Amino acid sequence: MSSETFPGWHGTTIIGVRKGGEVVIAGDGQVSLGQTVIKGSARKVRRLSPGGFDVVAGFAGSTADAFTLLERLEAKLEATPGQLARASVELAKDWRTDKYLQKLEAMLIVSDGADIFVITGAGDVLEPEHDVAAIGSGGNFALAAARAMMDSDRSAEQIARDAMAIAADICVYTNGNLTVETISK
């Protein structure tokens, strides 16, 4: 879809922080259309439990596209129980090669409590350095803030919440209404 016909859905901020034996994924709740806030309480972080194997996923981008990707990820996890890396790579391969999936406009951060991955439509499965990953319009702000706090005595959840607060203060497409999920291995 070209930028002229795309309706102008913008941003969100999702962050994943791994520290102290746990991973926290947090996301804001704002949905914007152009310069208008359509909804302030969307839930962009979800817990998936295919086959009893817990995974937390956060998404940025089109909600319908993200739900399609989450369903596909669940199917991949059911086919490869306990293997988040393998399921993520299989999803990314499908996303890159399937003509239908190629049109999807979203990104994911996923974790099983041990690993964190960023999955993109370009076929990328990225394991972040420094135990922090962030996506969305406020992602770079949250990433920088979280990295600055990693050596502090703050917990993973405190770092994620504080980084999201900083991103919400800077990015107009991010609000402070958070969904926070914690997972440990």
Q: What are the structure tokens assigned to 160, written together?
A: 């994620």
Active site residue 174: no
Q: How far is CA 81 from CA 35, 70, 92, 115, in A?
A: 42, 15, 17, 15
CA angle 110, 128, 160 (to 5 degrees): 65
Q: What are phi and psi of 55, to 5 degrees?
A: -140, 140
**Catalytic-labelled residue, pool 12, 13, 80, 174:** 12
Q: Read off the DSSP letter of residue 6.
A: S
Alpha helices in 48-182 (DSSP H): 63-79, 84-97, 139-149, 156-170
Angle between the N-to-C axes of helices 63-79 and 84-97, in degrees from 0 to 180, rounded to the nearest 10 = 130
What are the structure tokens assigned to 58, written together? 């956060």
In this structure, are residues 108 and 118 in contact, taking their beta carbons and an 8 Å threshold? yes
- Residues catalogued as catalytic: 12
